[in-house]
Chains A and B, each alone.
Chain A
């Protein structure tokens, strides 16, 4: 069995940033295991611009953003195995993987970083009546067909869901000559970034239909059309609003799910809201020595935030490897309430010596709401925000001194909405 200080599962932006940070912090033997043929993860097919504005202060495309990290990894002695699938984490410290060259691999790890990313919600999760005609796929699948494989999967498109990938593909397919009839969004607001609504839909003259969904697909061999309908406040189709839309392709952009099969198999506690692991401020999961970062932990809007989070995990893993801490950590628990759907990290070491950024998402669109962080009635943070939306991740910084001084070991992040 080969021994490593750190095994990183996933070679996308999260895995690369985490491995590089751990290296920078002095970790010696590091390996990245990547399922695809190259490092870079999903960025390789995200050919649009808009990446890196926060982290690099310039606007890069996905492959360019990935390339900067791939180059850095290549300049270190971090080992990389591509085309390698991790099957299991055994006993919390043995990573079982397989590839065509090595056969089965068993890697003994002092620390493990989970950076497997996320998957798109598929059609099966939606229960739309209709046959299994070709032409129904996730927006990310279409993105791979167009940007990597170099062909168009359809000519007349309807997009269900206004997530960012759907919006990006609406523009991309229009530029390549397809007619994108509309984007239907079940909710009364879009979950995508405002910039994408303007530059992908308005620029291309594509209508965004809010509170609207696809209730039936038509066609046996190939998709021929869809029936759409408006929905009420309970998201149920309103009878009489049905409309037939002819199309040969239906793209789904209806949410992302962190890919946590390995995490669950390892017995790590999962947050039912984020669908990612419950972590502390170092991104350590409920299993000591196993860390998680990037979209496998919580779905991000911006890769820049993925990089920042993964550096925290890399630093945390390095400290773990260096100190080999024993005993249980004592935590301050962090909860979201009153419009705050979740907060990451969910736990903070009560004796933390670092200021902690609390990342969270809100449940609805709020204007002029106050973000309040408090513990047992004592307010640690209170600031008004002109706008909060579920599609934009927010964060607040809480000082280490304030955390250490807490009497009740609980922090609550909540909103106060002006009536």
Chain B
């Protein structure tokens, strides 16, 4: 199978062509102009991860919601599950930047942490 993607490691945006076998293993990467393109292609085809940022409901704060992020990138396919977990939660003020509000969200190994204070 061939997958085409645009590398986002830098602004050049190389058009990558990734050759995969039936098991999803990367056989070759072409179109990249540097090593980072190859790594990007392999990561995207084998284990794509993303930082997830959102907001969480707050009780007793100066604003109704508090911005949060995952403490590390999570599997791309788990983003909507994590959103559900965040939106089911209400936390109490005061909250400091970096406070863990949900630990090990959806068994990703990542925590949901506050990115502001309130």
- A residues near B (Cβ < 8 Å) are 44, 47-49, 59, 61, 63-64, 67, 146-150, 175-176, 193-195, 197-199, 203, 386-387, 389, 392
Give Cα distance in the complex from A389 to B117, angstroms.
37
CB contacts (< 8 Å) of A47 on chain B: these are: 53-55, 67-69, 115
| Nearest chain A residue, comparing its CB with the CB of B98 | A64
Give Cα distance in the complex from A148 to B116, angstroms.
11
Q: For the complex, is B100 an interface residue (Cβ under 8 Å from A)?
A: no
B63 touches A61 (CB 8 A): no
Among B12, B53, B63, find the residue whose CB has the most chain A CB atoms closer than 10 A.
B53
A175 touches B12 (CB 8 A): no
| Nearest chain A residue, comparing its CB with the CB of B82 | A175
With A44-B116, A61-B53, A387-B13 in contact, is A176–B67 under 8 Å at CB? no
With A59-B51, A175-B80, A199-B50 in contact, is A194–B63 under 8 Å at CB? no
In the complex, what's the smallest C-beta–C-beta distance from A170 to chain B, in angstroms? 14
13 A–B pairs (Cβ distance < 8 Å), ordered by A? A47-B53, A47-B67, A47-B69, A47-B115, A61-B69, A63-B115, A63-B116, A67-B116, A147-B67, A149-B65, A175-B54, A175-B83, A203-B76
Q: Please classify how large the interface on chain B is, using the bins under 10, 10 to 19, 20 to 34, 35 or more.
A: 20 to 34
CB contacts (< 8 Å) of A387 on chain B: these are: 11-13
Q: Which of the residues B8, B11, B63, B115 comes within 8 Å of A199, measured between beta carbons?
A: B8
Q: For the complex, is B6 an interface residue (Cβ under 8 Å from A)?
A: yes
Give Cα distance in the complex from A59 to B53, angstroms.
12
Q: For the complex, is B17 an interface residue (Cβ under 8 Å from A)?
A: no
Q: Which of the residues B6, B83, B115 comes within 8 Å of A176, measured between beta carbons?
A: B83
CB contacts (< 8 Å) of B12 on chain A: these are: 386-387
Give Cα distance in the complex from A194 to B33, angstroms.
16
A147 touches B13 (CB 8 A): no
CB contacts (< 8 Å) of A386 on chain B: these are: 12, 33
| Nearest chain A residue, comparing its CB with the CB of B33 | A386
Chain B 1-31 interface mask (CB, 8 Å, partner A; 1/0): 0000110100111000000000000000000
| Nearest chain B residue, comparing its CB with the CB of A59 | B51
CB contacts (< 8 Å) of B13 on chain A: these are: 194, 387
| Nearest chain A residue, comparing its CB with the CB of B86 | A175
Among A44, A59, A147, A193, find the residue whose CB has the most chain B CB atoms closer than 10 A.
A147
| Nearest chain B residue, comparing its CB with the CB of A68 | B97
CB contacts (< 8 Å) of A175 on chain B: these are: 52, 54, 79-80, 83
A150 touches B65 (CB 8 A): yes
B57 touches A150 (CB 8 A): yes
In the complex, what's the smallest C-beta–C-beta distance from B23 to chain A, in angstroms? 23
Chain B 24-66 interface mask (CB, 8 Å, partner A; 1/0): 0000000001000000000000000011111101000001110
In the complex, what's the smallest C-beta–C-beta distance from B116 to chain A, in angstroms? 4
Give Cα distance in the complex from A251 to B97, angstroms.
30
Chain A: interface secondary structure? mixed
CB contacts (< 8 Å) of B115 on chain A: these are: 47, 61, 63-64
A-B pairs, top 5 by smallest CB distance, nearest first, are: A150-B65, A150-B64, A47-B67, A63-B116, A195-B8
Give Cα distance in the complex from A281 to B49, angstroms.
41
CB contacts (< 8 Å) of A149 on chain B: these are: 63-65
Give Cα distance in the complex from A368 to B109, angstroms.
43
Besides A63-B116, A67-B116, 18 other A-B contacts (C-beta < 8 A) = A44-B116, A47-B53, A47-B54, A47-B69, A49-B53, A49-B69, A61-B67, A149-B64, A150-B55, A150-B65, A175-B52, A175-B83, A176-B87, A198-B6, A386-B12, A387-B11, A387-B13, A392-B11
CB contacts (< 8 Å) of A48 on chain B: these are: 53
Give Cα distance in the complex from A61 to B69, angstroms.
8
| Nearest chain B residue, comparing its CB with the CB of A148 | B63
With A175-B79, A387-B13 in contact, is A146–B55 under 8 Å at CB? yes
In the complex, what's the smallest C-beta–C-beta distance from B74 to chain A, in angstroms? 12
Give Cα distance in the complex from A288 to B97, angstroms.
41
Q: Which of the residues B11, B67, B76 comes within 8 Å of A389, measured between beta carbons?
A: B11
With A175-B80, A175-B83, A386-B33 in contact, is A64–B53 under 8 Å at CB? no
B76 touches A150 (CB 8 A): no
Give Cα distance in the complex from A193 to B6, angstroms.
12
CB contacts (< 8 Å) of A197 on chain B: these are: 6
B63 touches A150 (CB 8 A): yes
CB contacts (< 8 Å) of B83 on chain A: these are: 175-176
In the complex, what's the smallest C-beta–C-beta distance from B110 to chain A, in angstroms? 13
* Cβ < 8 Å to A, chain B residues 61-118: 63-65, 67-69, 76, 79-80, 83, 87, 97, 115-117
CB contacts (< 8 Å) of B116 on chain A: these are: 44, 63-64, 67
